[in-house]
Amino acid sequence: MVRLVIVDDHEALRDALAVVLGQRGMEVVGAAGNVAAGLDLVEHGEADVALVDIRLPDGSGIDLTRELLARRPDLGVVLYTGHSDVDLLYDGLDAGARGYALKAGSLDELLGAIARVAEGGSYVDPRLDRVLLEPRETARATQLSPRESQIMALMAEGLTAERIGDEIDVSVETVRTHVRNVIRKLQARNRVHAIALALERGEIALGSFKET
């Protein structure tokens, strides 16, 4: 069972989500209406995933995401917003969020987003696919650094973040930070999409990793 906290300043929505998500098999371990309460809730709770609104009365949900992950690197964060602004999406992914769900989506879509993030995956609302796949956006993406290319090439070979960290002698969190940066640079939906774009751009190639 996924343990979930909800951080949203709309009390009626927050309470309704707690009830409905609880009925659909998730354990809602707490709810908060602002950044300060959200930080306290996560730090002193046992949540697997935080569902966070971007617009909060005492700050940004994106800044809250950075702070939550600084304290709980294992936490999965799903940003839940009515805004389909692509810049906000990139900012959220750069902050470490692994999910970005629009409030225009269905309950089943939200449940899928939370479940996918709880399992270690990522989710971006499909309504943003058209914008993210726009060729001119990809063409503007900046070049990957040598380290980013190395990590993405190893990931393309199927290595986990833990195995990559062992291979290049860095921490798992450093690997994940590089992957998040690549997702932002390539304006990808998730790491799988980032690998595909890096291959398409010729920045990485399959077959370069040799088992030792």
The pTM of this model reads: 0.64
The fold of the 135-200 domain, in CATH, is Arc Repressor Mutant, subunit A (1.10.10)
Predicted local distance difference test score (pLDDT) of residue 136:
40
What is 3-128's CATH number? 3.40.50.2300
Closest to 10 in 3D by CA, of 45, 37, 34: 34
Q: What torsion do the CA atoms of 87, 203, 193, 64 make, to the nearest 10 degrees?
A: -40
Element (H, E) at 196: helix 191-200
pLDDT of residue 139: 43
Q: Could you give the C-alpha distances from 51 to 4, 28, 46, 55, 170, in angstroms and in order?
A: 7, 10, 14, 12, 30
| Residue ranges of the chain whose pLDDT lies below 70 | 129-142, 207-212
| Token pair listed for 184 | 């932002």
Q: What is the pLDDT of residue 19?
A: 94
Distance CA 31, CA 182 (A): 32
What count of other Cβ atoms lies within 10 Å of the Cβ of residue 203?
A: 18
Reported as type and span, the H/E element at residue 192 is helix 191-200
What is the chain's Cα-based Rg?
A: 17
| Side-by-side strand order, sheet with 76-81 | 27-32, 3-7, 49-52, 76-81, 99-102, 123-124
Q: What is the pLDDT of residue 122?
A: 85
b/e map 113-150, b = 16+ CB within 10 Å: bbbbbbeeebbbbeebeeebeeeeeeeebeebeeebbb
Output the DSSP codes for 22-54: HHTT-EEEEEESSHHHHHHHHHTS--SEEEE-S
For the chain, the domains span: 3-128, 135-200
Asked if residue 127 lies in contact with residue 105, where contact means CB atoms within 8 angstroms, the answer is: yes
Q: List alpha helices for 28-119, DSSP H.
A: 35-43, 61-71, 86-94, 107-118
pLDDT at 90: 76
Fold equal for 3-128 and 135-200: no
Q: 148 forms bridges with which residues in the sheet?
A: none
Rounded Cα gap, residues 176 and 153, in angstroms:
14
Q: What is the pLDDT of residue 137?
A: 45
